[in-house]
């Protein structure tokens, strides 16, 4: 079969595992120790049609965040015992349907925390201090020398940061903000304990207050369909004209057309975007703007994080195939013993 690598190790009870794209070697080594592993290696993402064909005889699926695992895909795999998603998100999987037929779905949280928080601050600093713009100038037209009014940006130190979503990543962003003496506001579905707030010097506020009061807004929440276009025309009108929006969460949280308009009309000063509404497509309007820094969904793209994610996803598959309960189950299907 084209676009396939087969990892084969003979063992007493060999299971068949499909890995929907290439992952770090550490994860493959863990899976192939006792099982037959098939890895999709195509230059483009695996299609739903090809996924349906390859999954028919598989006992486990290691899906990528970019792999659409629909009900129709799941129905093609009568032997499927687990879907292990390589990514902290899981909106690419019909996990409710998987739960209805007893298939646990897992993700890889925590491993992404430091890397994503680092990138959040990278985009914040790069956009505020016009780093990418400056790099382009240096590589093209050059500059005439230091001047008082030349290439001014915004200081980050002492400003107010508003963090949307205060889970592991949001709290990690708050820790980094402390180094810049920033005032930390946050909004979240539930308020954190006084101990957490005090440790991070963070203040819980309403979403509306956060939008209106923050100099920098970072989106670090998980995604569900009710959050689509949480940031749209109304929110950009509420923001300070000197404010910056940073999104390292999920693209559909931001109305991309409204963001482009807000940046073009200087309703807000800038943005840093790692995820896109129509990903992997990026709106031409964003590409044409100087006051936005764009990165290609690399929030957790570090050697350390990606290795840890591979180990977590592969480890959950191994647990299930050994009759053990997996970790980080997101659809409520946890069994002490899972028959193989």
- Report the catalytic residues: 250, 279, 297
Task: Give me 10's structure tokens.
Answer: 């003979």
Q: How far apart are CA 295 and CA 281, in angstroms?
A: 12
Task: Give me 297's structure tokens.
Answer: 């969904």
Burial 256-270 (b: 16+ CB within 10 A, else e): bebbbebbeeebbbb
Compute φ and ψ for 292, nearest 5 degrees: -140, 135
Measured from the Cβ of residue 236, the count of other Cβ atoms closer than 10 Å reads 21
CB 162 within 8 A of CB 329: no
Pick from 299, 295, 290, 242: which is nearest to 130 by CA?
A: 290
Measured from the Cβ of residue 318, the count of other Cβ atoms closer than 10 Å reads 21
- Overall residue count recorded for the chain in this entry: 340
Question: How many CA atoms are closer than 13 Å to the CA of 176, on its beta-carbon side?
Answer: 24
Pick from 282, 271, 288: which is nearest to 127 by CA?
A: 271
Which single residue is written with the structure tokens 């009759």? 323
Burial of 76 (0-12, 13-18, 19+ CB in 10 A): middle
Pick from 300, 302, 301, 244: which is nearest to 273 by CA?
A: 244
Task: Give me 280's structure tokens.
Answer: 């992997």
Q: What is the DSSP string of 208-249?
A: HHHHHH-SEEEE-----GGGTTSBSHHHHHHS-TT-EEEE-S
Q: What is the DSSP string of 115-148?
A: HHHHHHHHHHHHHHTTHHHHHHHHHTT------T
């Amino acid at each position: 079969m084209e676009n396939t690598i087969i990892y084969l190790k003979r063992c007493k009870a060999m299971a068949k595992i499909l890995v929907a794209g290439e992952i770090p070697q550490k994860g493959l080594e863990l899976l192939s120790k006792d099982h037959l592993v098939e890895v999709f290696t195509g230059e483009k993402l695996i299609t739903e049609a090809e996924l349906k064909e390859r999954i028919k005889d598989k006992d486990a699926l290691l899906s990528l965040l970019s792999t659409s695992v629909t009900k129709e895909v799941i129905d093609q795999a009568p032997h499927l015992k687990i879907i292990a998603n390589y990514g902290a998100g899981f909106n690419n999987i019909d996990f409710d349907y998987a739960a209805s037929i007893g298939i646990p779905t897992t993700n890889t949280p925590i491993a992404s925390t430091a890397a994503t928080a680092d990138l959040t601050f990278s985009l914040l600093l790069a956009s505020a201090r016009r780093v990418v713009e400056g790099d382009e100038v240096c590589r093209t037209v050059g500059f005439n020398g230091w001047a008082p009014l030349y290439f001014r940006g915004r200081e980050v130190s002492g400003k107010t940061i508003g963090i949307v979503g205060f889970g592991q990543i949001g709290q990690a962003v708050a820790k980094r903000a402390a180094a810049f003496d920033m005032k930390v506001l946050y909004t979240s579905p539930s308020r954190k304990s006084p101990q957490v707030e005090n440790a991070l010097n963070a203040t819980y506020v309403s979403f509306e207050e956060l939008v209106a009061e923050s100099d920098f807004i970072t989106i670090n929440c998980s995604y569900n369909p009710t959050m689509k276009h949480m940031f749209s025309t109304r929110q950009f009108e509420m923001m300070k004209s000197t404010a910056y929006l940073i999104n390292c969460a999920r693209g559909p949280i931001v109305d991309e057309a409204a963001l482009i308009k807000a940046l073009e009309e200087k309703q807000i000063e800038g943005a840093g975007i790692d995820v896109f509404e129509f990903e992997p497509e990026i709106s031409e309007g964003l590409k044409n703007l100087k006051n936005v820094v764009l990165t290609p969904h690399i929030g957790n793209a570090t050697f350390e994080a990606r290795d840890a994610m591979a180990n977590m996803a592969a480890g959950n598959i191994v647990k299930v195939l050994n009759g053990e309960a997996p970790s980080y189950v997101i659809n409520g299907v946890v069994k002490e013993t899972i028959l193989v």
